[in-house]
Chains A and B, each alone.
Chain A
Amino acid sequence: MPNLRREDVKNMLASYALRMLILLFALLGLAAGAALVAGEPLQPPARETLRLRLGGPASAPPPLADVHLQNFSQVLNLIEQHYVEPKSAKEIIHGAIQGAVSTLDPHSSFMTPEEFRELQIETKGKFSGIGIEITMKDRILTVVSPIEGTPAFRAGLRAGDQIVKIDGKPTRNLSLTEAVKMIRGPKGSKVTLTINRPGFPAPKDFTIVREIIPIRSVKARIVEGGLGYIRVANFQDQTDQDVRGYLTKMQQKAAPLKGLILDLRNDPGGLLEQAVQVADEFLSSGLIVYTQGRTPQQNMRFYARPGQPGEDRSLPMVVLINEGSASASEIVAGALKDQKRAVVAGAKSFGKGSVQTIIPLEDGSALRLTTALYYTPSGRTIQDKGIEPDILLKEPEPTDAKALQALREEAMERHMRGEGITDKPWNQPLTTADLEQDQVLKRAVEILKNWPPKIVAQQPAS
């Protein structure tokens, strides 16, 4: 039973006391409410290299000199006495922890209580709000889409609605993050949005009661010709259940399913446990991934177990990756590739092979600390190297900022019209015309239709 295994893994992790997370390294900190941010502002690319030496000679750190501690307290006192304005001790200590952590690898970081809360929302896959995606369009706060089945959807909000006010407060000078904060709130409470819509003689108030809104990380579509397409946006609680759910439904609808595309492009990762579960959906035995840390309790091996609908090797499978596929995505792609369960196509993945543990601190802040490295079944580290695709598929690259902006806007418009690849219900087949908006996906469909493929980039056995 799949649920049993889920429990097994949970127990393993419980012995750890803390949950392990594999997380995207975002240079600018947490992009608050990533699901809500479309066309987000510039973020420095997070492709960083890092060499972690594993199990090298354990050079004992020199005993900490008194002078370090004296310095620490001396600097605190100097700030207290001489800094131009009073500063709270907590703010300074947060700075100190932040500074100490930033001498570690780039995936280790410090989270303020607020950032930590946001992270918990993201990984739990739910938050309390009304269920809309919003963006800044021409500097106006605009609804991208109401999520089906949510209070916003039932209240009749529509894609393209302009949010003029939130609880009477004009949104003109609000940032997207601030707007998200105002719209979210405790379950059961109310928020009033003043909406401008073509056809309204005057802006109209919508008062909506907040609920717990699940954030779905998995979307799926049937593809014309009996194929299935599953898109995983990130690995959070219940990702594996959603994957299995769609797979089962698709197998019933298009029996027999002739092929499956698992799309992990731009999937920054998430929970290690979920990566293991998702890989297991398609594997019946063997190693999925193993981790090695400084202490024995951080050394873990994860194996696949039989009994899932996706295990049948007669179901041809293509996994799509690109340079935005990181950590948990790389574990799944790596395991399916190493076990020859799927053909991996796309571009080389990000290359993040370290595991972070979230360590909550007593004031609600938290450390995100690199505690282990992980390896694919064949013993390869993903760190720096990434997963090489079996078949290289290039996405058309925007030449400059203008072209990039135009592409983003085009995608946004399509999404607002509900015409994006994953905007329609899963059982409405993707047509050849639909596939034109995603050239890589189109190629993946062609690969499945001409199965088995001639592998272009053969990986040397290691």
Chain B
Amino acid sequence: MKPAGLASFWRRRFLSLLLLAGLCLALPAAGPPSAPATSGQDSYEALRLASEAFYEIGQKYVQPKDEGELMQGALRGMMNALDPDSSYLTPEEYREFQRGGRSAPAEAGLELIYKDHLLTAVSVLDHGPAARAGLKPGDLILKINGQLVRNLTTQEGMRRFQGPPGTVIRVQVVRNGLPKPLEVTLTLEPLPPPRLTLQMLKGDYAYLRIPYFQDDTPAALAGLLRDLRRQHPGLKGLIVDLRNNARGSLEQAVRTASLLVGNREVVSTRGRKGGESQVYRGREQDLVFKTLPPTVVLVDQGTARGAEIVSGALQDHGLATLLGDKTFGLCGITQAFPLKDGAAVIMTVAAAYTPKGRKITGHGLVPDVEGKKPAPGEPASAPPSLEQDPWVMQALDHLKRGAAMVKRS
């Protein structure tokens, strides 16, 4: 097709589309009192802008460009403009999504998001292939198998690190403080159940690490916590480590929080239409401790999704002090919407709120106590033992000073 043909094609197409979309977009504006920001005029202008841009690309780009690819890029870009949890799925990706969501045969053990045109590691699963290869939360993935990362979505970014066991992936990452990008090779492995570690510290304090959540995790935690209660009736305090934990669903979070808050509210979700908020509570029979010993929850920027829900519930019910860094703010409720050609978009339709109504999605949780920053130049890598972990020691100090019970009102 000649460029000129393409141009008039776009003009023609978009004119009819304009009328169509103008109508559709105008409808909700007349509806609820919380009127959307978009007016018919706005969308008309926006669409005219899109048609102008596509026309210029079609005519002037250095080589002819496949229209389908361009449109897919546009749809990806639209969804990326919303938030990191919203994605466009090609028909093939959507079929796979429907088959089994994220349970890939093997993976790298990375929780990634695509934000501001960068693929960023939110968390690196403890002991997983990526962790062993030396990747760290906050790393930016620049290249995958030599290919520059561009125009991805969070879903697609995650998929690049899934596949048959034994698949070797080369990645180039950029990390703050490194003068040169880091080249790393990792091998995909089936994801084992999370290694929950419960460790006693001197003076009858317990440390519990939850690296990520799976469906069986709440039950496993229930067992661990009950044993702890039985074996250490004089337990003086508990440290729950939810740093670098960005994998966990709302349901897994509610069942986990249930062990500590009983039948109180864990989280609520509210969508666009407002009003109809969905409240999730724990169950009385799950409660492990009648009176929870003083508790500190360790959080950081790698704490996201389910782990944020658990942290927020404990914080709002005055059951725990959050210590560390601000959490990521990534626990929106998403929904998939199929499109006519078999593709789909996944979109955040509701935000999560703590029991006291603080919005987690997009905001994160602010810790009660800021974790001590490592001295400049000091390596931020994981310390070999708990005694050398500054935040664990800070949490222990906090518990020993008896300041763990935060009165919130």
Q: Using a CB–CB distance below 8 Å, which chain A residues touch chain B?
A: 27-29, 41-42, 44-45, 48-49, 52-54, 56, 58-65, 67-106, 108, 110, 293-295, 298, 354, 357, 359, 361-363, 365, 367, 369-373, 398, 400-404
Contact = CB atoms under 8 A, between A and B. Distances in A.
Interface stretch (B104-112, B123-131, B346-354): B346-354
Contacts of B179: 398, 400-401, 403-404
Given A67-B340, A73-B17, A59 B64 contact: yes
Given A71-B343, A82-B337, A95-B79, 7 more contacts: A52-B63, A53-B63, A84-B272, A94-B81, A362-B48, A369-B56, A371-B61
Q: Which of the four size classes fits the interface of chain B?
A: 35 or more
A99 to B, nearest CB: 2
A70 B88 CA distance: 15
* For the complex of A and B, 6 pairs with smallest distance between CB atoms: A99-B77, A95-B81, A103-B73, A89-B46, A102-B151, A93-B46
Contacts, number: 264
B46 A90 contact: yes
Nearest to A55: B63
Contacts of A65: 68, 341
A354 B36 CA distance: 42
A68 B67 contact: yes
A80 B24 contact: yes
A89 B63 contact: no
B291 interface: no
Nearest to A81: B28
A42 B182 CA distance: 14
Given A100-B53, A369-B57, A91 B67 contact: no
A373 B63 CA distance: 11
Given A80-B24, A80-B36, A95-B78, A359 B1 contact: no
Given A69-B13, A88-B42, A371-B60, A61 B151 contact: no
B101 interface: no
Interface of B: 1, 3, 6, 9, 13-14, 17, 20-21, 24-25, 28, 34, 36-38, 42-43, 45-50, 52-54, 56-57, 60-82, 86, 88, 117-118, 140, 142, 148, 150-151, 174, 176-181, 271-272, 332, 335, 337, 339-341, 343, 345, 347-351, 361, 377
Given A85-B272, A88-B38, A371-B61, A95 B68 contact: no
A87 B151 CA distance: 21
Contacts of A62: 66-68
Contacts of B17: 69, 72-73
A85 B36 CA distance: 8
A62 B319 CA distance: 62
A95 B25 contact: no
Given A77-B21, A84-B361, A100-B53, A61 B67 contact: yes
A84 to B, nearest CB: 5
B174 A42 contact: yes
Contacts of B348: 83-84
A54 B64 CA distance: 10
Most interface-central of B60, B88, B340, B348 (chain A CB within 10 A):
B60
A227 B47 CA distance: 59
B181 A84 contact: no
B50 to A, nearest CB: 5
28 contacts: A29-B117, A45-B174, A48-B148, A69-B17, A72-B50, A72-B71, A73-B17, A75-B78, A75-B339, A84-B271, A85-B272, A87-B81, A89-B25, A92-B78, A96-B50, A96-B78, A97-B77, A99-B151, A101-B73, A103-B70, A103-B73, A104-B61, A106-B148, A293-B62, A359-B56, A361-B53, A367-B53, A373-B62
Contacts of A403: 179
Given A80-B36, A103-B69, A95 B77 contact: yes
